Structure 1
Amino acid sequence: MKVKKRLLLLITIAILAIIVGSFNTTILPDKYFNDANLIANDPYNEKGLVGSYSFSMWFYDVLGLNKIPFPLVSLIQLIIIFVIIKRLGIPKNFGKLTLRNSVVWVSLLLFSVYLSMPSKEFINFIYISLICGVLISSRIKLRKKVIFVCLLLLFFSFWFRPYYLLVPFLGIGLYFLSRLEFKSRTVSNIFWGIMIACFFSFSYGFIKGEFMSESSREKLNKRRMGREDSQTMIVSPVETDTAIGEGVGIFYGFFSVNLPLNGLKFFYKPQVVAFVIWQSLMFILLVYFYSKCMRNRQKYRQEEWLFHFVFAYLITQGVFEPDLGSAIKHKLGVFPIIYLAFYFDQNMISEYKKRYKYVLKDKVENH
């Protein structure tokens, strides 16, 4: 049986990722394993069924993955990740050397660094894959897909990651914004989407006394000041304790995690420069594909909602993301939906197809 070139390439990337992942404990600095060690060891007995850290500790404990060496954990998780990617579909042009494919190939290899150990992002990846399963299904009508995805995201926000609560509301907001006539619909959609996030933060601040980024990212980063892992922190250029300051902080955060040119100040750190290039190319391509999708909305009705949810997440990440390093992990945690967005024009998302049940009756002829 002849193996298709695109499948062979995916298998090759998977093997390379597994090889790199198996040597992580010997080549990566200890700081890369801070979360992994905390999740695996659970030093304060915090495991439980609700909350990202608590559930991750419970998950790895129940499956016994916290009792085996990290290289073996890497093997298991990377196999699962690449099987999921295969199940989502391999586009026909996957084997060609293009800018789009190059960004995806690098992303797949990055799993060997960031998702090859006990991590919250691995669980995040699996859950987002379930959402993608809903989006690509041909058994569910578009309206029901949107409802199911919103409900899954809301559940995820209450169960695992609270900041996902913003994503369905922003996604719906971006959909209605896309119905308005703007000169540059894509850029306008993103701008007003960020403004909606600012409005949510202002409302939260009015009720709680602290704005969203002020009470999360800024507060966390102030505690991290001076630590070894604080160099790539995302810190607003102005104080975020006023509405204007919070608005500036959210816009600054959005561009820091999606078009992180400010990271070039770390030109002496090759890994940061590589991140800036990878993340900038990913964002620019996503904006380009979003624009292309919006210009052909009748053809890409299913895919349009996919992009609304992707950019809703990118905007949400701009509100809460504390660090350039964590931004990579969190992007990989939602990579299945980014993967579908990158190949939106490759027929990976199916239209609803009504299924009929036929009852066959034998006709008996009497002679």
Structure 2
Amino acid sequence: MKIKKNIATFLLLAMANLVIGFVSFFILPPKFFYDAATIAYDKGNEIGYLGSYPLTILFYKITGLRYLPFPVVGLIQFPILMYVLYKIGIPENFEKINVKNILIYMGIFMIAIFISMPSKEFLTFLYVVPIVFMCKNEEVSLKKAIIITVLMLLFFGAVYRPYYAFIPIIGGGMYAVSLISFKNKTIKTIFYGLLIAVFLSFSHGVIKGKYLSEISRNVVNDKRMGSSDANSIIISPVKTDTWYGEAIGIFYGFFTVNVPVNGLKHIFSPQIIVFIIWQLLLFYILLVRFSKCLKDRIRYSKELLVLLVIFSFFIVQGMFEPDLGTAVRHKIGIFPLIYFALYYESFRKELQ
């Protein structure tokens, strides 16, 4: 039986990156494995039923994966994620070299790097997959898809990663704003999404006494300042202990994470430059697709839902992400959504 070129390309990429994921343990510096070591060894006895580290540690203990060498964990996890992408679908012309396909090729490479070890992103990746399958399934109504997606994100925020609970709030606000007729709707929708994030942080500051970036990004970066791991940390140009400082910090964080032109200063760190180029191209293409879905929201209703989740996540990253490296790694957690958003037109053809 003859295998189609697009499927053959996907399988070759999967096999090649499986090897990369296996050997990465022997090549990458120790800092790449800090999280994995925390999860596997649990020296702080953090295991539990609430929170990203406790639940992830529990998962790897129950499955027995924590007792395996990291390269072996990679040999188990990576094929599972590739199978998930395969079930979502392999787009036509996947074998052709173009910007969109290259972004996915690079994304698969980064999956091999970041999830070839015990990882919170492995669980996040699997958790968001049902959203994609709901949006692909014509038998699932838009209303049902929205309700389930919102509940999933709120639940995930409540028990695993708190910032996911902000995604439905920001996404809902962005959708409401997009209903207003004005010029440059795409950019203004994202701008108002950022304002919603600022308002959420202000509200937290009023109630708890500290803004959101103060209790997340700043806490992490203050400990790393001056260390060898601090070369790509995100530091706001102004202190975020005032309302205007926090507002500037969120906008600065958003652009640093998603349009990281200021990261080009790391010219002598090729791995950072590669991530920056990937992020710039990804953001641009998703922005174009977001604009298309906003213009024809009836036809692309479910695609718009996915893109609202993605851009809300990007905005949330502006509040919480401590550095460029973790920003890319966390995007791998929502890679199924990105994959669907880049190829939704191809998937539509499959359903017709």
Q: TM-score range by the shorter chain?
A: over 0.9
How far residue 350 of structure 1 moved from its aligned partner, in angstroms, is 9.4
In structure 1, the partner of 2:103 is 103
Output the amino acid matched with 1:169.
I
Between the aligned partners of 2:337 and 2:271, the Cα distance in structure 1 is 25
Show the 5 A alignment for 1:49-64: 49-64=49-64
How far residue 130 of structure 1 moved from its aligned partner, in angstroms, is 2.4
Instruction: Please provide the CA RMSD for this pair.
Output: 1.5
- Any unmatched runs of 5+ in structure 1? 354-367
1:211–1:86 Cα change, 3 Å: same
Between the aligned partners of 1:118 and 1:54, the Cα distance in structure 2 is 13
Q: Secondary structure at the match of 1:215?
A: coil
Q: Identity percentage over the alignment?
A: 43
In structure 2, the partner of 1:219 is 219
How far residue 81 of structure 1 moved from its aligned partner, in angstroms, is 0.6
- Any unmatched runs of 5+ in structure 2? none
299-308 vs 77-86, which deviates more? 299-308
Output the amino acid matched with 1:64.
G
How far residue 135 of structure 1 moved from its aligned partner, in angstroms, is 2.5
Q: Secondary structure at the match of 2:345?
A: coil
Show the 5 A alignment for 1:253-332: 253-332=253-332
Taking structure 1 as the reference length, what is the TM-score of the superposition?
0.93
* Equivalent pair of 1:340/1:348 in contact (CA under 8 Å): no
Show the 5 A alignment for 1:65-144: 65-144=65-144
* Equivalent pair of 1:286/1:341 in contact (CA under 8 Å): yes
* Equivalent pair of 1:137/1:349 in contact (CA under 8 Å): no
Q: Secondary structure at the match of 1:97?
A: coil
In structure 1, the partner of 2:48 is 48
60-69 vs 247-256, which deviates more? 60-69
Output the amino acid matched with 1:94.
F
1:128–1:276 Cα change, 3 Å: same
How far residue 327 of structure 1 moved from its aligned partner, in angstroms, is 0.7
How far residue 348 of structure 1 moved from its aligned partner, in angstroms, is 4.6
* Equivalent pair of 1:167/1:313 in contact (CA under 8 Å): yes
In structure 2, the partner of 1:28 is 28
Query: What's the CA shift string for 1:137-168, capped at 9, x where partnerless?
Result: 22321011101000000000011100111001
Output the amino acid matched with 2:312.
A
Query: What's the CA shift string for 1:235-281, capped at 9, x where partnerless?
Result: 10001111111110000000111011111111111111111111111
How far residue 284 of structure 1 moved from its aligned partner, in angstroms, is 0.8
* Equivalent pair of 1:260/1:280 in contact (CA under 8 Å): yes
* Equivalent pair of 2:136/2:347 in contact (CA under 8 Å): no
* Equivalent pair of 1:52/1:160 in contact (CA under 8 Å): yes
How far residue 349 of structure 1 moved from its aligned partner, in angstroms, is 9.7
Between the aligned partners of 1:295 and 1:126, the Cα distance in structure 2 is 31
Between the aligned partners of 1:266 and 1:347, the Cα distance in structure 2 is 38
How far residue 134 of structure 1 moved from its aligned partner, in angstroms, is 2.5
In structure 1, the partner of 2:14 is 14
In structure 1, the partner of 2:207 is 207
Between the aligned partners of 1:344 and 1:200, the Cα distance in structure 2 is 31
1:129–1:247 Cα change, 3 Å: same
Taking structure 2 as the reference length, what is the TM-score of the superposition?
0.97
Between the aligned partners of 1:15 and 1:201, the Cα distance in structure 2 is 44
Output the amino acid matched with 1:277.
I
* Equivalent pair of 1:134/1:148 in contact (CA under 8 Å): no
How far residue 37 of structure 1 moved from its aligned partner, in angstroms, is 1.1
Show the 5 A alignment for 1:326-365: 326-348=326-348
100-109 vs 44-53, which deviates more? 44-53
* Equivalent pair of 2:212/2:319 in contact (CA under 8 Å): yes
How far residue 95 of structure 1 moved from its aligned partner, in angstroms, is 2.0
Runs of 4+ in structure 1 deviating by more than 3 angstroms, as ranges, are: 347-351
Between the aligned partners of 2:43 and 2:135, the Cα distance in structure 1 is 39
Q: Secondary structure at the match of 1:194?
A: helix
Between the aligned partners of 1:101 and 1:172, the Cα distance in structure 2 is 30
* Equivalent pair of 1:303/1:349 in contact (CA under 8 Å): no
How far residue 189 of structure 1 moved from its aligned partner, in angstroms, is 0.5
Between the aligned partners of 2:349 and 2:234, the Cα distance in structure 1 is 35
How far residue 80 of structure 1 moved from its aligned partner, in angstroms, is 0.4
How far residue 38 of structure 1 moved from its aligned partner, in angstroms, is 1.2
Between the aligned partners of 2:171 and 2:349, the Cα distance in structure 1 is 18
**Matched residues, number:** 352
* Equivalent pair of 2:257/2:324 in contact (CA under 8 Å): yes
How far residue 121 of structure 1 moved from its aligned partner, in angstroms, is 0.7
Between the aligned partners of 1:227 and 1:348, the Cα distance in structure 2 is 48
